[in-house]
Each structure stands twice: as structure tokens, then as C-alpha cells.
């Protein structure tokens, strides 16, 4: 069993683009090392993140993220056990959205959501589309 947590948050206004890039690099390195998969998106002052991995790792990381002063207003979208990680099927790495992003993984994630979580699917796909448009 794996755990997945997703949230949106507001970036601290003092956060510069360089600091966001630093954060992205750090997150990619750290999550790859711990076999945590998912996605982190930043757009127009907001973060959207999906984390997938071992339950204790994901829970501990989420607690740390909640306390991070680089963002606030963290709103959890979902937190549940899963049997398959949506993002590990293509690359077992943490994707950080850059200019050139292969949407395949995100599409796969949304397909899974539609199947397992139809009530949430509409909101999540709307949210992701908003992020994709702006980023
Ligand atoms: C929006 C946002 C997303 C983050 N995502 C991760 C993440 O996926 N993995 C991670 O290791 N740290 C992430 N962090 C950083 C953690 O909050 C924390 O600073 C980091 O894990 C270092 O903690 P430590 O100094 O206790 O090791 C994120 C921070 C922010 C603001």
C-alpha cells in the first residue's frame, strides 16, 4: 500500500523566482532519493502538489511542508491509500513542471482520479488545467 496526498497553497509573497527554482531542485533531489513520486507545480503565486510513496514518509513530509514558511493557506485536496502510484509508471522520479512538460503522466494521473475518485475528479482536473494554462 502507498499513500498519496495532494494540496494547493499560496506562495509567500517574498518568494523570488530564483528561490522557487531552488526549491524545485531541492524537492526533485530529495524525493528521488526517497522514492517519492508525484508532481509540484507553481503558477501565479500558487503551488499544487501531489505526493506519492510510503505512508510514513508521505505523512512526515506533509507535516514538514505544512510548517514551511515559504507558503501558507495549505488546503488539502486528498489524502488516501493507493495500490499504484500514478506517477511511477513512466518515471520513478518527481516531476517538476517546467516549460517543456510531457503531459502523459498528468493525463494518466487524471484518468486514475476519474476512475477512483469521480467526485473529486472535476475539481482536480479544473485545478490542474488552470495551473497548466498559467505556467
Ligand atoms: C510548496 C512546497 C513543497 C515542498 N515539497 C517538498 C517535497 O516534496 N519534498 C521535500 O523533501 N521537501 C519539500 N518541501 C520542503 C520542506 O518543507 C522542507 O523544507 C524540507 O523537506 C527540508 O526539511 P528538513 O530541513 O527538516 O530536512 C516543500 C516546501 C514547499 C514550500
Could you tell me the residue range of the domain that residue 127 belongs to? Answer: 2-134
**What's the average model confidence in pLDDT over 112-128?**
82
Banded pLDDT at 52 (limits 50, 70, 90): very high
For residues 105 and 35, the model is more confident at: 35
Average pLDDT over residues 52-71: 97
Residues flanking ligand 1, CB < 6 Å: 9, 23, 27, 30-31, 40, 47, 49, 51, 61, 64-65, 68, 70-71
Q: Which SS3 state, helix, strand or coil, does residue 118 take?
A: helix
Q: How confident is the model at residue 92 (pLDDT cuts 50, 70, 90)?
A: very low
Q: What percent of the chain has pLDDT over 70?
A: 87
Domains contained in the chain, number: 1
Burial 99-126 (b: 16+ CB within 10 A, else e): eeeeeebbeebbebbeeeeeebbeebbe
DSSP state of 80: E
Hey, whose CA ends up nearest to atom 25 of ligand 1?
64
H-helix or E-strand spanning residue 116: helix 104-116
CA-proximal residue: ligand 1, atom 15 (nearest): 65
DSSP, collapsed to helix, strand or coil, labels residue 111 as helix
pLDDT, average across residues 62-83: 95
Once rounded to an integer, what is the mean pLDDT over residues 9-35?
91
Q: Given a cut of 80, is residue 53 above it in pLDDT?
A: yes
Mean pLDDT of the chain: 84
- Strand positions, DSSP E, the chain: 2-11, 37-43, 46-53, 71-82, 94-96
Q: What is the CATH number of the domain that holds 122?
A: 3.30.70.100
Task: Give me the residues paired with residue 124 across strands.
Answer: none
Site to probe by mutation for ligand 1, drawn from 7, 26, 63, 65 as the one with most ligand atoms within 8 Å of Cβ, is 65
Amino acid at each position: 500500500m502507498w499513500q498519496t496526498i495532494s494540496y494547493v497553497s499560496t506562495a509567500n509573497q517574498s518568494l523570488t523566482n530564483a528561490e522557487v527554482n531552488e526549491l524545485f531542485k531541492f524537492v526533485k533531489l530529495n524525493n528521488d532519493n526517497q522514492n517519492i513520486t508525484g508532481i509540484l507545480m507553481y503558477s501565479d503565486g500558487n503551488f499544487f502538489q501531489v505526493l506519492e510513496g510510503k505512508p510514513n514518509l508521505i505523512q512526515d513530509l506533509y507535516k514538514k511542508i505544512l510548517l514551511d514558511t515559504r507558503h501558507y493557506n495549505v488546503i488539502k485536496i486528498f489524502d488516501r491509500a493507493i495500490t499504484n502510484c500514478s506517477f511511477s509508471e513512466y518515471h520513478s522520479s518527481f516531476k517538476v513542471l517546467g516549460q517543456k512538460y510531457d503531459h502523459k503522466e498528468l493525463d494518466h494521473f487524471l484518468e486514475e482520479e476519474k476512475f477512483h475518485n469521480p467526485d473529486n475528479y472535476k475539481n482536480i482536473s479544473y485545478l490542474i488545467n488552470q495551473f497548466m494554462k498559467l505556467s
